[in-house]
Amino acid sequence: MRSMDIRLLLAGAALLSISAGLTTQVWADWSRQPTRLAAEHYAFAATTRVALPLLVGPQDVAVAKEYGRWGGPAEEPPPPDITGRWMGIWSGYGVMARRTSTARAEFMQAGRWGWGKIALADTLAADVPVIVSYRGALGVPVVFDVFQTAVVVKHEAGGRHLTAVFKIDGDQLVGMLRGYGTLIVLARQR
């Protein structure tokens, strides 16, 4: 029995010494090769852009003219301006019943993008994002992207904290908090 333990111990030591020697040899081979780290490959890939030319020939122009789709480069109208103070209401699920209270927002816009704050009152017992309850009357700092008929509003640290999508209807914004059953209706204050 005692000799069996010694044999196992010697076999284990032999395997360990062989694998250690092999590891050192493999490491020496790898260190001599001119390889690059994955971070260097990522930096190269992130900074290298390949732009392929658009191949639009005379036949494509003829087809576009035939179908009335040719008028030069398409020009988008400017997005609606939502800069200003907005007041309204929010409605969402509470602990026992649907809740309704006041909502306010203040937006600053520069072109298609902007920033501001949204504050929903009385949200401690409501089904809203945690950041809305924590910030309370101070309001949640947000950034937004304005389209012709909609506004996508996200928390300044990312959409995982808060995302709301509003439909633009003149001087009124109607929207919902993404992932929650909370409706928000805001009207511009003049």
Is the same domain home to 162 and 104?
yes
Cβ burial, residue 103 (10 Å; 0-12/13-18/19+)? buried
Q: Does residue 41 belong to any structural domain of this protein?
A: yes
pLDDT value at position 136?
Answer: 85
102 in the same domain as 30: no
Report the pLDDT value the prediction gives residue 1, as an integer from 0 to 100: 55
In CATH, what number is assigned to the domain containing residue 183? 2.40.128.120
Q: Is there a single domain that holds both residue 26 and residue 110?
A: no
Same domain as 13, residue 105 = no
Give domain status of residue 70, yes or no: no
Q: Is residue 53 part of a domain?
A: no
| pLDDT in the model for residue 19 | 63
Secondary structure of residue 74 in the 3-state scheme: coil
Only one residue has tokens 């092999």, namely 22
Instruction: Please return the burial class of 182, using the count of CB atoms within 10 Å of its CB with bins 0-12, 13-18 and 19+.
Output: buried
Please tell me the predicted confidence (pLDDT) of residue 65.
73
Q: Give average pLDDT by consecutive 10-residue segment, the chain, 190 residues.
A: 72 68 64 58 56 66 70 74 96 87 95 94 88 89 94 92 94 93 93
Is the residue at 112 inside a domain? yes
Residues 105 and 152 placed together within one structural domain of the fold: yes
- The whole-model pTM stands at 0.60
* Domain residue limits at 168: 84-188
Task: Please tell me the total count of domains within the chain.
Answer: 2
Claim to verify: residue 17 and residue 99 sit in the same structural domain: no
